[in-house]
Homo-oligomer: A and B are copies of this chain.
Amino acid sequence: MAGMALGKNYDGQSCALASALEVIGERWTLLIVRDALYGVRRFGDFQAHLDIPKAVLSQRLSTLVEAGVLERRRYQETPPRDEYVVTPVGQELWLPVLALAQWGERHLSTRGPHRLFHHVTCGGRLEPTSYCRTCGGLVTLDEVEMRPGPGLAGDTRQDQVSLALRTPHRMLDPIP
């Protein structure tokens, strides 16, 4: 993605997804996060693995450090060398990364899954799910209702969609 660093962002969307995309929605960023979750830490390793222009990598790493996703850490003094380590905030991106990757595996992959993720304690395969805190069941989209929350307070948009979404709404129900 482009134009998000200075001024041209998703402002006015009143949506946490838009905020998230301002941090991790630019080109290359989520692949950098994925590599960092694998354990890649050094500038040169990111660059060699991703085939990304150095200037872009440098800028993305700075953005991620600023957003609290990565932490820049001096690991030796002579010569001075820094590494980029995933913070707890960055570790929580594991779920969206896994969910997106598995969507790609299911619908865009040809020769079967590229990488499998297993639970170390029992060896079972991982699955990302959306589950219900109250009844504990797995929930599919047709059982989901959106309700406006307190963060929507400052939303002044007047288009039909924004108006409709300020009241509870069943997912996939046509708007308006």
Chain A residues engaging chain B, CB cutoff 8 angstroms:
1-4, 10, 12-21, 23-28, 30-31, 34-35, 37-41, 45, 48-51, 68, 86, 89, 91-135, 137, 139, 141, 143-154, 157, 159-162, 165, 169-176
Contacts and interface: CB of A to CB of B under 8 A. Distances in A.
Contact of A127 (B37, B126, B131): B131
A36 to B, nearest CB: 9
Number of copies: 2
Contacts of A113: 16, 149-151
B30 A27 contact: no
B126 A129 contact: no
Contacts of A127: 130-133
A130 B128 contact: yes
Residue in A12, A89, A102, A107 with the greatest tally of chain B CB atoms within 10 Å:
A107
A158 to B, nearest CB: 9
Contact of A134 (B2, B40, B119): B119
A2 to B, nearest CB: 5
Contact of A18 (B31, B110, B125): B31
18 contacts: A1-B1, A2-B2, A12-B51, A13-B31, A18-B104, A20-B101, A40-B175, A48-B160, A49-B161, A95-B129, A109-B151, A111-B153, A113-B151, A115-B148, A115-B165, A117-B144, A119-B135, A127-B131
A48 B2 contact: no
A72 B27 CA distance: 27
